[in-house]
Chain A
Amino acid sequence: MPAPGAPRTFDVAVIGGGMIGPAVSLGLLERGLRVCILDEGDDVLRVARGNFGLIWFQGKGFGMPRYVEWTRRSAMLYADFAAELKDSTGVDIGHARPGGLELLLGEDELAHRQHYLGQIYQQGGGANYEVEFIDRKQVADMLPNVTLGEDVIGASYSPLDGHVNPLFLLRAMHTRFQQAGGTYLPHHRVSGVRKDGDAYTLDTEGGSVSAPKVVIAAGHGLKTLGPPLGLDIPIRPQRGHIMVTERAQPMLPMPISAFRQTVEGSIMLGVSAEEAGYDDTIDTATLHTIAARAKRTMPQLGNLNIVRTWAALRVLTPDKCPVYAESDSHPGIFGIASHSGVTLAAANAKVTAGWIAGDPPPPEFEAFTVERFHDAPA
């Protein structure tokens, strides 16, 4: 028993109970480590509650082939990850990989998309880059219950794309974490991390915790927690709006980058991108833009009711690719920042956790450094 007031000790202290922290923690528990997750309270920035739920491959990794590989790896691990969560917790996270579409409205969008995906293909994806272009007729065949708007001329398609119910994923990970003996500590916002002998002490509003290894998976919290610990990761918030309709009969058999029908039947519509600092309030003009485009793409959505909207803040690095890094100045402190934390949850549970536990890093991580943002451009 620790003396009263002494920090509770763990093998690994994970800061952040959003998307990345719990995924990594599950893998750490599987390796027999004692893990705690320190999290904030209720009404906070937690992108894990505000995302679109896509497990998305196409278009990822522009300028960074390693990110293409890492995304592919997670997409391939997802089915097993989902099955394990269901077996252990009973929560069905609604994972499916039926392939995904990005619909293209007009020749300009097609040309732009061809150019963009072409670059990813050329930078190393090569012959096995699993993305292709299909025409309007092929799109119509894939979406038999949809009457496409006149402007839809085709789509980019990847068989690796899929989706998940991100909220049930969050709940399943939290349930599994506690089942497997992890300690979840809400209302433990970390204010600072100090070196204390062989371990680190984390000071929080709810008392202190001590561990030799610390994973900072705090989303936007990394911005302030990282620099004093040698992890100066220049992340910024980028706002995205999402709207959700009432439940409807099944209509979309596969996710489309801005349209996703959930297992419950609601259709999610998204996703905008604005630079608005940390303001996560709704901008009505953006809702209008999303609605207008949705109606142009699938006019039959017109009389569906919008029941909810929200805006959430992406955790973006300058090149939009992830960071997985251990601090040089503070060994044992790991920082993880990525957009697409849903997509990467399976890889984080299965592979990232091993790296934190002491395995050699997976090959992809050579690209996900902090230094890339600080080295002078060649």
Chain B
Amino acid sequence: MMHRRNTAGERVTINIDGKNVEAVVGESVAAAVLAAGAGATRTTPVSGAPRAPYCMMGVCFECLMDIDGIPNRQACMVSVTPGMKIKRQAGARTVGGAS
């Protein structure tokens, strides 16, 4: 969906749905995911409709993703860090902790 016209800056490797990709320090997770060629970044808990980042500034909550094991984080407001694990979400999140 997006490409970097300039990759100046420090690189990090992050993992999106099991695949390692390069990102640039300072980028948001949402930006990195868009650059990795995602279509939908989640499906909704209401109807299962596909959604992707809409505002990139923290107001629409469409970019919710599982980041380092915590679901429903605003990917546009979190910066990439080395080794970060990012997953797309399908429908309502789970509540970990029990079998």
Contacts and interface: CB of A to CB of B under 8 A. Distances in A.
Interface of B: 45-46, 70-72, 91-99
Contact of A265 (B92, B98, B99): B92
A289 interface: no
12 contacts: A144-B98, A145-B98, A147-B98, A246-B72, A247-B45, A248-B93, A248-B95, A249-B91, A265-B45, A298-B97, A303-B70, A305-B72
What is the interface residue range for chain A against chain B?
Answer: 10 to 19
A301 interface: yes
A6 interface: no
B58 to A, nearest CB: 14
Nearest to B94: A249
A299 B97 contact: yes
A251 B45 contact: no
A304 interface: yes
Contact of A300 (B45, B70, B91, B96): B96
A265 B46 CA distance: 10
B92 A304 contact: no
B73 to A, nearest CB: 9
Contacts of A303: 70-71, 96
A80 to B, nearest CB: 29
B95 A304 contact: yes
B62 to A, nearest CB: 14
4 shortest A-B CB distances, which residue pairs? A300-B97, A247-B45, A247-B92, A147-B98
Given A265-B45, A305-B72, A249 B97 contact: no
Contact of A249 (B46, B70, B93): B93
A146 interface: yes
A206 to B, nearest CB: 36
Given A144-B98, A249-B91, 6 more contacts: A247-B92, A249-B93, A251-B95, A265-B45, A300-B96, A303-B70
B93 A246 contact: yes
Contacts of B46: 264
A301 B98 contact: no
A117 B24 CA distance: 62
B98 A300 contact: yes
A255 B97 CA distance: 19
Contacts of B71: 303
